[in-house]
Amino acid sequence: MIAVVKDTATPEQLDHFVSWIHGKGLDAHVSKGYNATIVGLVGDTTQIDPYLIEGMDIIERVQRVSEPFKKANRKFHPLDTVVDCGHGVKIGGGTFHVIAGPCSVEGENLISIARQVKAAGATLLRGGAYKPRTSPYAYQGMGEKGLDLLCETRDELDMPIVTEIMDPRDVDTFVSHGIEVWQIGARNAQNFPLLKEVGKTKAAILLKRGISGTIDELLMAAEYIMSEGNPNVIVCERGIRTFETHTRNTFDLSAVPVLHDLSHLPVCADPSHATGHTRYVTPMALAATAAGADCLEIEVHDDPKHAWSDGAQALTPAQFKDAMTRIATVREAVTMEVE
CATH code of the domain covering residue 28: 3.30.70.1140
Q: CB-based burial of residue 331 (10 Å sphere; 0-12 exposed, 13-18 middle, 19+ buried)?
A: middle
Q: HEC states along 262-284?
A: HECCCEEECHHHHHCCHHHHHHH
Q: Is there a contact between 229 and 199 (Cβ–Cβ < 8 Å)?
A: yes
Same domain membership, residue 290 and residue 231 = yes
Q: What is the pLDDT of residues 255-286, one digit of tens each?
A: 999 999 999 999 999 999 999 999 999 999 99
Same domain, 94 and 33: no
Residue 127: pLDDT band by 50, 70, 90 thresholds?
Answer: very high
Domain boundary among 32, 63, 94: 63
Full-model pTM: 0.86
- Give me the domain span that covers residue 302: 83-335
Domain count, the chain: 2
Mark 169-192 as b/e (b = at least 16 C-beta within 10 Å): ebbebbeebebbbbbbbbebbbbe
> pLDDT, tens digit, for every residue of 217-241?
999 999 999 999 999 999 999 999 9
For residue 201, the surrounding DSSP H or E stretch is none
DSSP letters of 55-68? TSTTEEEEE---SS
Strands 267-269 and 233-237: parallel
| CA pair distance 274, 262, nearest whole angstrom | 22
Among residues 28, 49, 45, 47, which one has the least CA distance to residue 37?
28
Same domain, 31 and 91: no
Segment 311-315 shows an average pLDDT of 94
